[in-house]
Amino acid sequence: MLIRSLTLATLLAFAGTLFAADGDSPLDMDKGRARPLIVIAPSTVDPTWVSLKKALDDPANRKGFDDRNMVLYSVLNLMGQREGKDLGPQDTAALIRSLKLGAGPKTKVILVGKDGEKKLEQSDAVDLQAIFKTIDELPATEKEATAPTPPPVTEPVPAKGAKATKPAKPTKPAKPPEMPDD
């Protein structure tokens, strides 16, 4: 009986972490819409983070960042943010878990494509222009991976020689049913 209980507990603990890892990452909401750029640094004064933040303050770089549909995620001192807005501890942990990173004291910069796959991973200094170049070299299918839009609706053209008709008037809404007197 004890062995069965331990086996069941182990199985549930293992399966629970696998199920929790699926679909709870903040990156899932950006899939098909934006390219997340994730910076994981041990502190807020990390030179890689400071240089990237300074580069993004330049209007030309910021325009390039926005034109490429990029979103900035940062995890500094285990505190996560998306575009400057705080993520909860569970979302931060899910973000780190979804990237499948090994532990290490170095700063990591990861570019994720619209398809959800890692496109670039660096551990040292970040060159924003190199990141832009990587995005520009992506295949056209990844660049255009966006939510599908419905085709425009066109009105049919009457056949040649046919008499043109006026469009029908909209009908009046039906009267609501009257309540019976009791």
Residue 61: inside a domain: yes
Of the candidate ranges 28-32, 58-62, 122-126, the one whose mean pLDDT is the lowest: 122-126
pTM (global) more than 0.85? no
Residue 154: inside a domain: no
Query: What is the structure's pLDDT at 152?
Result: 56
CATH, residue 37: 3.40.30.10
Going by pLDDT thresholds of 50, 70 and 90, the confidence category of residue 98 is confident
Q: Is the per-residue pLDDT at 60 higher than 60?
A: yes
Please tell me the total count of domains within the chain. 1
- Provide mean pLDDT across the span 153-180: 64
Residue-range definition of the domain harbouring residue 44: 26-136
Nearest by Cα to 42 from 125, 124, 107: 107
Of the candidate ranges 57-61, 132-136, 145-149, the one whose mean pLDDT is the lowest: 145-149
- Provide mean pLDDT across the span 61-75: 88
